[in-house]
Amino acid sequence: MSERENSDRSADAPPAEIAAEITAFERIIPRLLRNILVFSVLLMAPVFWFYHWMGALGFVLGASVSYVNFRSLTRGVEGLADRIVNQNSGEKGGRIVFRFVVRYLLVAVVAYAIFKGSSVAFYGFLWGLCVPVAALMAEAVWQGFAAFRKTS
């Protein structure tokens, strides 16, 4: 949708409808974080089946890093958006950039430590890093279902 179509749509939409859309979008991030935790628990059994306890330990570390990484990403994006929109924002630009860099350093350090320790644990770690993908896919299915339900 082009920017003009989007502005025309918001000009035509009543304020209550826009407020309802904003509220619906605000609920996505907490739902994604919850889905990451749910998929972490659900995927623990297959990881343990394939890679035994060492792979399961790597999976727990990978899923934990994924959760912290995703949470940090959302806070960073919110801080960056606040900094762009609000000129008098209390959020410092250097702190935002620092958090983005630390996210990747955390993943790299944990991955290196696990890789040096056990290749089986590293496979579990990679599974854990993919947990947010499963959570995002579940959210896409939910949004599709909600859109079809709204049009019916």
Query: Per the structure block, which two tokens stand in for 84?
Result: 């762009």
> What's the rounded Cα separation, in Å, for the pair 133 and 122?
18
What is the model's pLDDT at position 149? 84
- Pair 103, 36: CB distance under 8 Å: no
Q: Is the pLDDT of residue 136 over 90?
A: yes
What is the model's pLDDT at position 90? 62
Of all residues in the chain, the percent with pLDDT exceeding 90 is 36
Query: Per the structure block, which two tokens stand in for 46?
Result: 């297959």
Q: Is the pLDDT of residue 21 over 90?
A: no
